[in-house]
Structure 1
Amino acid sequence: MRHLPLLSNHASNRAALTCEYRCGDACFHDVPNTSANDYLGDVVRQLISRRTAMKAGAVVAFGAAAGLPAVAVADPVDRGGKAPRGLDFTPVAPNQLDAVVVPEGYQQHVVIRWGDPLFPGVPEFDFDHQTAALQERRFGFNCDFAALLPQDPLGLVNLLVTNHEYTTEPMMFRGYSADNPTEEQVRIAWAAHGLSVVMVKRTPFSGKLTPSFSRYNRRFTMTTPFEVRGPAADSDLLKTSVDPTGKRVLGTLNNCAGGVTPWGTILSGEENFNQYFGNAATRNDPRLTRYGVTGTATTRKWERFDKRFDLAQEPNEVNRFGWVVELDPNDPDSTPVKHTALGRFKHECANIRVADDGRIVAYSGDDERFEYIYKFISNGKMRKGGSKAARRHNMTLLDDGTLYVGRFTGDSPPAEIDGTGKLPSDGNFDGSGEWIPLAAGNRSFVPGMTAEEVYVFTRLAGDKVGATKMDRPEDIQAHPKTGVVYCALSNNVDRGKPGSKEGATEPNPRVLNKHGQVLELTERRGDALALTFSWNLFLVCGDPAAPDTYFAGFPKDQVSPISSPDNVAFDPHGNLWISSDSGAALNGNNDGLFGVPVSGPQRGHLKQFLTVPRGAETCGPVITERVVTVCVQHPGEVDGATADNPASHWPDGGTSQPRPSVVAVWKQGRRQPDEIGS
């Protein structure tokens, strides 16, 4: 029996079904990070507080010594005026409708649904007559990350690439028995995980996208071969009875967010992989516990049908998941890769920034309470051009370099970070930080751990070097023009909880944090290769009327409410777009997509662009000149809902079952639309 905590202590208002099948009830279990590493900001603030008379000088000296740029204090006065390019729309009001709601003057269209055919000869989806063989040739379940890769200069033909994060079997099959799933249901779930690649064609003078059959269409499932590369590829920790080389893995699972590389490939993060492996209790291995791999039987019971999901029989199989995956959609014959040099943890994403000298930098967050933010710097340099040879070379860059973890220091006295979310006297939650090296190639920088142990058990390495515990680091992206890095920190209701849980810190300033924040990180002198940085909180999310929220200093009576920021993206004009995953945490309202300027007089003016149906999560936003797309994940997943008792009939209406889908939105009435907002 699962004991539910009080609502006020729950990570969100998500349905119990979503929590169980998406992340294995992560927020109902003990926090895996029990390390005692202190928050460095506490130490610095204690030193500052002893010299209160010299506070200003001490802070300036600290920043100057690190060579960090100053973080501008937001202007508190009214900053109204004309909306910046790309954000000229009337915000959508919060609602609880069973529909995608878009601003007045915009149109929408469902691009593709779970079960839609990707290949010729596949019949139309029949909910009551599913098979694993057909699901392998259909669009997968619960789409999350998405990317549109243009195949022509006008963007009329694109490859749409999506992750399929997880399956919710009670929503997929009528009469589903969680205690006794059939083998065919399990195999359908294997086939519904992974990724899809499908060609879509845009109708001229609109944003409508229509799937088409092409030689590029592909499905990656739990039975697709993946190549393992990088410094841990042949480690004994990755070898199994089926794969004694440790270099070939079948499948990818719980793929959450991702990114598009500058060379046109896709990076996909394997996130809550821990929940798929049974009989962890037989191993008595604290390294498993650190990754949340616990208990006996799993929710889905996959271990009954394939020994690789039974840790009693294959103890290393779990180590073959939790990586960043790279695939080349433009080469339908290519084998996807798992990159071990980026470390193993619950990857929300990996996103790339190119340094001035051509080396590439990847940022990734570990999406769990009190986990860390990571950075990777390659040794090799990117080769320009779109040729297959250039892509092959560039796909090796993530196999050779140095992996780092972030340590964040605040600059305010301890008494001013009291857990309420009240701004400190300097007007910002801000400070400085450093990237701590963990491993490079076969060299470990972590005492007591070999390099391969650092890569396979990266969380333990972060513990040992004193990385900063964050509030669920989710999607991370660098601004395409300024290089400033933005990270969504979704929430952490365990922060400051009575007991041994770490309390408020300046980058995580609220206890029992239900609504999250958005971090803004500026590398030293703007250099992507820098190992020091300054940081500040751009947004502290929640109800704008609440005293513990902050929107870059913009008047709060003019912004939209937002809770639990999840994915971040940029439009062609440099505005930040944020999708939410709150589970109706703000007054029972649906999740949505929001746009906000990060510079200029409208900085912080957050506006809601759309909302998704009841029970759904907004995922994987793509923002182009002509169209916005979002993945609508788990529509209708509210408490009490099943396939026998659906709570949503989106997107097909009537008495139909809800189906996760990709939706396109565009501005109507323009023969040649050149941007989303104007």
Structure 2
Amino acid sequence: MSTTVPGRRPLPLLPAHDGGRSALTCRFRCGDACFHPVPNTSANEYFGDVAARAFSRRSVLRAGAVVAAATAAVPMMGRQGAQAAPAVGGPDAVGLRFDAVAPNFVDAVSVPAGYTSEPVIRWGDKLFSDAADFDPANLTAAAQARQFGYNNDHVGLLPLEQDEHLMVVNHEYTDEVMMFGGYDAANPTREQVEVSWAAHGLSVVAVTGRHRGPRNGGLDPVVDHPLNRRFTATDEFELTGPVAGAELVRTSADPSGRVVLGTLNNCAGGLSPWGTWLTAEENFNQYFANADGVTDSATRQRLARYGLPGGASERKWERFDTRFDLSAEPNEVNRFGWIVEVDPYDPTSTPRKRTALGRFKHEAATVSLTPGRRAALYMGDDERFDYLYKFVTRDAYRSNDVAHNATLLDNGTLYVARFADDGSGEWIPLVTSTGDTATSHVPGMTGVEVLLFTRQAGDAVGATTMDRPEDVEPSPKTGVVYVALTNNTARSAAQLNAPNPRPSNKHGHVIELVDGRNDATSSTFTWDIFLLCGNPEDEDTYFAGYDKTQVSPISCPDNLAFDRHGNLWISTDGQNGTIGANDALHAVAVKGSRRGQVKTFLTVPRGGETCGPIVTDERVLVAVQHPGEYGGASFETRLSSWPDGGGQVPRPSVVVAYRLDGKKIGHG
């Protein structure tokens, strides 16, 4: 099987599950979610359920794009400044003046001519000089807890002195088959499990820029910096907000219901204006086991809505700690699925799980300040047919008031999105939190229940089912919010809705959304479809009306970022299995005559995923996750040896790319 990219030879598709990820990635990252029933069995309205909205080949969706029931796509004028067919001509947008990288399957990071790239930090690199040297044949939990963790995802930079930063990185999941020699999935050892616990979690590490010579865009970690920290699956985290202390989060080990050991499956995140890091717990369900052993029917229904496995877990952690055994500790799972707030500037602080923001498979928590300086957080629930959320704080952000700002995320209102097919939408309030009190807006559910079982609350109020909403980022230039919908091959023609207009949507799309008059406190919004991703030669792709012969192919949009010019940068997760090329970091102009022109800036090694982009004038940072994770890969069978080469084990790493001439990124 092959796919074609314009003007290039066909490339082979790597073996992949539905949606593009490799089978090995699906197994360890999300517990083969796509091979289990969709957790959302609610009767929320589908587009096909509404009378007089039947689809035909010439049906029109007012979404900035037109898609018929099966394959046809016809562009229309959007509402966020799009033109039906922008003229091609003149220079590329400032910040995007580089030669696009061609699709490829090379086992390396590929960047445009005149640029270079190199790892900043790799799995197993020391954060502290007393840590053991990385030895893939002899991994230990003690060493891993002092080293950079596995499968880096979100990357953030917080300022220190001059060109020194605190780099914050989360570690989403472990792939034990690739980490351990002779791994027996049916019988892992305690040491292997404890290494995996230590390889999960978070890293805070100081990095410093280079100021002399031709390679001045690089960044180097500062070993033993006083702010360096590791948080693992066994470190203490604090529950805050209305759920803290509730009966449903009390366990045998923590009868107070306030202290949780660890954070799991952190994917994407954001930085707050008050200098903290928000990191998102996503596919936490896969770490727990034996839901079938729970006898209470209400509890079993709640577990099913979050996709908890009935029998043993993939990693068998329940054999070594009963907190992962639902039949023994049914409340432990309720302590995961939150947004975690970390203060990287305080090396003595305990990270806080902010329960007022709701519990689901979080992907991102990006903060936008309203005109009144209240904070709005946009969050996606990364599951097929789940929802888009917003949280607006009760109080305004105050500059230089650390104590006040530390309370912002415990006080406010959580909303879920309902999209209409005319390009409008509304934010439906679910719950308002005030300190330890939660007031429900959902009939039949208490405030604490809404926060704990947020998916069910969204079901109850008729939220719009989406195609895996992942990263959600407001533009710092315009305030327009961009939503990455990664894919959903389970959506049938009968289940189409206006913001998710393609059946069997393997390529995903990107939505533009404007709250009111660019005020995140608004209860209404307007929206457009900005991109319908895929091979530009396919009829059902759309690039904001731009000439499709002049764009790079893109599939499975995941993480989003902006450069200082307002261009949108999109990293991908799974396009190696959909368009037949390594995952990549793409850039696209959102305004002007080049609006919708997608250009590939960087591709990652075979089997890898592009995560956590940061784009500045000096450098571009990405997290290269799970290189070589495809096919029959294992510790013994290495299908990638990036970044060390020479047949060495592949190592997830944070990478920096920059210009060799020292000039600004994308300035020609």
For normalisation by structure 2, the TM-score amounts to 0.91
Structure 1 residue 655 displacement after superposition? 1.4
Q: Is the 8 A contact 2:17 2:23 kept in 1?
A: no
Structure 2 distance, partners of 1:490, 1:607, is 18
Q: Is the 8 A contact 1:41 1:408 kept in 2?
A: no
Structure 1 distance, partners of 2:31, 2:237, is 24
2:525 is paired with a residue whose SS is: strand
Structure 1 pair 94–47 and aligned structure 2 pair: CA distance change class (3 A): closer
* Correspondent of 2:351 among 336, 355, 363: 336
1:308 is paired with a residue whose SS is: helix
Structure 1 distance, partners of 2:79, 2:112, is 37
Structure 1 distance, partners of 2:284, 2:481, is 27
Equivalences for 1:233-382 in 2 at 5 Å?
233-284=244-295, 285-382=300-397
Structure 1 residue 78 displacement after superposition? 2.7
**Does residue 213 of structure 2 align to residue 221 of structure 1?**
no
Matched with 1:478 is 474
Q: Is the 8 A contact 1:10 1:493 kept in 2?
A: no
Q: Is the 8 A contact 2:555 2:579 kept in 1?
A: no
Structure 1 residue 9 displacement after superposition? 10
Structure 2 distance, partners of 1:241, 1:554, is 58
Structure 1 residue 573 displacement after superposition? 1.0
1:237 is paired with a residue whose SS is: helix
**Which stretches of structure 1, 4 residues or more, deviate above 3 A after TM superposition?**
7-10, 39-49, 69-73, 673-678
**Does residue 220 of structure 2 align to residue 210 of structure 1?**
yes
Structure 1 distance, partners of 2:321, 2:518, is 49
Structure 1 distance, partners of 2:355, 2:653, is 31
Structure 1 distance, partners of 2:52, 2:352, is 44
Structure 2 distance, partners of 1:338, 1:172, is 29
Structure 1 residue 481 displacement after superposition? 1.8
1:584 is paired with a residue whose SS is: helix
Q: Is the 8 A contact 1:19 1:26 kept in 2?
A: yes
Matched with 1:118 is 127
1:522 is paired with a residue whose SS is: strand
Equivalences for 1:182-581 in 2 at 5 Å?
182-204=189-211, 206-213=216-223, 214-284=225-295, 285-385=300-400, 390-411=401-422, 431-441=423-433, 442-496=438-492, 503-581=495-573
Structure 1 pair 324–345 and aligned structure 2 pair: CA distance change class (3 A): same
Q: Is the 8 A contact 1:279 1:295 kept in 2?
A: yes
Q: Is the 8 A contact 2:641 2:649 kept in 1?
A: yes
Matched with 2:9 is none
Equivalences for 1:593-632 in 2 at 5 Å?
593-632=585-624
Structure 1 residue 648 displacement after superposition? 0.4
Structure 1 residue 79 displacement after superposition? 2.8
Structure 1 residue 76 displacement after superposition? 1.2
Structure 1 residue 14 displacement after superposition? 2.2
Structure 1 pair 9–577 and aligned structure 2 pair: CA distance change class (3 A): closer
Structure 1 residue 128 displacement after superposition? 0.7
TM-superposition CA deviations, 1:180-223 (whole Å, max 9, x none): 00000000000000010111111016211111120110001011
Which has the larger displacement, 471-480 or 12-21? Answer: 12-21
Structure 1 residue 503 displacement after superposition? 1.7
TM-superposition CA deviations, 1:362-403 (whole Å, max 9, x none): 110000000000001111110113xxxx23421311111100
Structure 1 residue 433 displacement after superposition? 0.2
Matched with 2:73 is none
Structure 1 pair 160–355 and aligned structure 2 pair: CA distance change class (3 A): same
Q: Is the 8 A contact 1:9 1:512 kept in 2?
A: no
Matched with 1:103 is 112
* Correspondent of 1:127 among 89, 113, 136: 136
TM-superposition CA deviations, 1:152-174 (whole Å, max 9, x none): 2x4x1111110100000001001
**Does residue 193 of structure 2 align to residue 180 of structure 1?**
no
Gaps of 5+ in 2: 1-13, 63-77
Q: Is the 8 A contact 1:163 1:194 kept in 2?
A: yes
Which letter maps to 1:399?
D
Gaps of 5+ in 1: 1-6, 56-68, 412-430
Which letter maps to 2:525?
F
Matched with 2:74 is none
Structure 2 distance, partners of 1:675, 1:78, is 25
For normalisation by structure 1, the TM-score amounts to 0.90
Q: Is the 8 A contact 2:342 2:350 kept in 1?
A: yes
Structure 1 distance, partners of 2:211, 2:125, is 23
Structure 1 distance, partners of 2:52, 2:654, is 47
Q: Is the 8 A contact 1:583 1:615 kept in 2?
A: no
Structure 1 residue 70 displacement after superposition? 4.5
Q: Is the 8 A contact 1:369 1:472 kept in 2?
A: yes
TM-superposition CA deviations, 1:404-452 (whole Å, max 9, x none): 00000112xxxxxxxxxxxxxxxxxxx1100000011221111111100
Structure 1 residue 80 displacement after superposition? 2.5
**Does residue 32 of structure 2 align to residue 25 of structure 1?**
yes
Structure 2 distance, partners of 1:249, 1:381, is 29
Structure 1 residue 588 displacement after superposition? 2.4
Structure 1 distance, partners of 2:201, 2:485, is 25
Structure 1 residue 482 displacement after superposition? 1.2
Structure 1 residue 674 displacement after superposition? 3.9
Matched with 1:652 is 644
Structure 1 residue 322 displacement after superposition? 0.2
Which has the larger displacement, 279-288 or 132-141? Answer: 279-288
Structure 2 distance, partners of 1:8, 1:510, is 23
Structure 1 distance, partners of 2:450, 2:81, is 37
TM-superposition CA deviations, 1:479-522 (whole Å, max 9, x none): 0121110010000000007xxxx522121011000000001001
Q: Is the 8 A contact 2:424 2:525 kept in 1?
A: yes
Structure 1 residue 40 displacement after superposition? 6.9
Matched with 1:82 is 91
Which letter maps to 1:443?
T
Structure 1 pair 264–600 and aligned structure 2 pair: CA distance change class (3 A): same
Matched with 2:7 is none
Structure 2 distance, partners of 1:124, 1:9, is 35
1:545 is paired with a residue whose SS is: coil
Structure 2 distance, partners of 1:356, 1:86, is 28
Q: Is the 8 A contact 2:15 2:631 kept in 1?
A: no
Structure 1 residue 251 displacement after superposition? 0.3
1:476 is paired with a residue whose SS is: strand
Structure 2 distance, partners of 1:71, 1:588, is 32
Q: Is the 8 A contact 1:477 1:568 kept in 2?
A: yes
2:517 is paired with a residue whose SS is: helix
Q: Is the 8 A contact 1:161 1:197 kept in 2?
A: yes
Matched with 1:62 is none
TM-superposition CA deviations, 1:325-346 (whole Å, max 9, x none): 0001111111100000010000
The sequence identity of aligned pairs, in percent, is 57
Structure 1 distance, partners of 2:455, 2:650, is 37
Matched with 2:150 is 141
Structure 1 pair 489–295 and aligned structure 2 pair: CA distance change class (3 A): same
TM-superposition CA deviations, 1:444-478 (whole Å, max 9, x none): 11111110000000000000000000000000010
Structure 1 pair 308–45 and aligned structure 2 pair: CA distance change class (3 A): same
